[in-house]
């Protein structure tokens, strides 16, 4: 009797294993995308005359917006069970978002006028993301995406005083690797012809993990005012993606 129970248990486990293998199906994914992105961030500028430390500091918030195109290649692996999909992907992204920064301001006393010019640049982005999807119909897969990305971001900003009042200038520059989270949703639509790729339409939001973005500071030795500048920015990016994907 005991032997019979063990035999039946083994048969049941084998049946469950075969059923699980039949339910879960895996495949590799590779693709490329063209994206339209908008990056917004406040430039936080502080100016203090360190030669006169009792004077109030000048604080300025200048909003800057970049728009441009991105190109991306990606690959990964995904499994499906009934109508559900779970997958992971690695992506590399190149961008062309580099609109110049220009603005002008005066100190809190309206004594010295300053102009600022420069750029905020992002080097190629490398990311790792996961997808959770549901097959809503034979022609439509809806999914959520979460993950992390890393890139080397650079801010380069030159402050120039009114030469008629104070003929000086200073350039602040900071370049560092920053991690950011990404979150979004999308839809995948298979093309009707056999063995053809699928098309994805996707929205992605990205931001740094904490409030510390890219920043730098420095001062100009003038012998009297000694202007001290600090600048920081914490950009956020919204992206619309159109991708072509092959599963194999």
Residue pair 72/90 in contact (Cβ under 8 Å)? The answer is no
Residues in CB range of 158: below 8 A, 6 or more apart: 116, 117, 118, 169, 170, 171, 172
pLDDT tens for each residue of 132-163: 999 999 889 999 999 999 999 999 999 999 99
Residue 161 phi/psi, 5° resolution? -80, 160
In whole angstroms, give the CA distance from residue 207 to residue 202: 17
pTM score over 0.95? no
Residue 94 has pLDDT above 70, yes or no: yes
Q: What angle do CA 98, 101, 105 make, to 5 degrees?
A: 170
pLDDT tens for each residue of 41-70: 889 999 999 887 778 899 999 999 999 999
Domains and CATH numbers, the chain: 27-247 (2.40.160)
């Amino acid at each position: 009797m005991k032997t019979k129970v063990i035999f039946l248990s083994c048969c049941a486990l084998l049946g469950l294993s075969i059923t699980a293998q039949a339910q879960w199906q895996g495949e590799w994914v590779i693709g490329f995308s063209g994206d339209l992105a908008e990056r917004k961030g406040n430039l936080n500028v502080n100016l203090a005359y360190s030669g006169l430390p009792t004077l109030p500091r000048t604080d300025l918030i200048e909003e800057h917006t970049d728009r441009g195109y991105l190109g991306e290649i990606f690959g990964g692996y995904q499994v499906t069970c009934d109508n559900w999909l779970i997958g992971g992907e690695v992506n590399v992204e190149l961008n062309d978002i580099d609109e110049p920064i220009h603005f002008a301001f005066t100190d809190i006393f309206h004594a010295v006028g300053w102009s600022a010019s420069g750029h905020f640049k992002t080097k190629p982005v490398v990311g790792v993301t996961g997808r959770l999807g549901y097959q809503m119909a034979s022609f439509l897969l809806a999914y959520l995406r979460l993950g992390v990305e890393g890139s080397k971001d650079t801010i380069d900003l030159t402050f120039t005083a009114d030469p008629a009042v104070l003929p000086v200038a200073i350039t602040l520059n900071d370049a560092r690797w920053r991690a950011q989270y990404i979150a979004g949703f999308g839809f995948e639509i298979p093309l009707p012809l056999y063995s053809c790729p699928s098309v994805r339409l996707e929205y992605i939001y990205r931001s740094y993990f904490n409030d510390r973005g890219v920043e730098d500071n420095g001062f100009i030795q003038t012998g009297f005012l000694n202007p001290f500048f600090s600048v920081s920015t914490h950009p956020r990016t919204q992206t619309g993606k159109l991708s072509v994907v092959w599963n194999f």
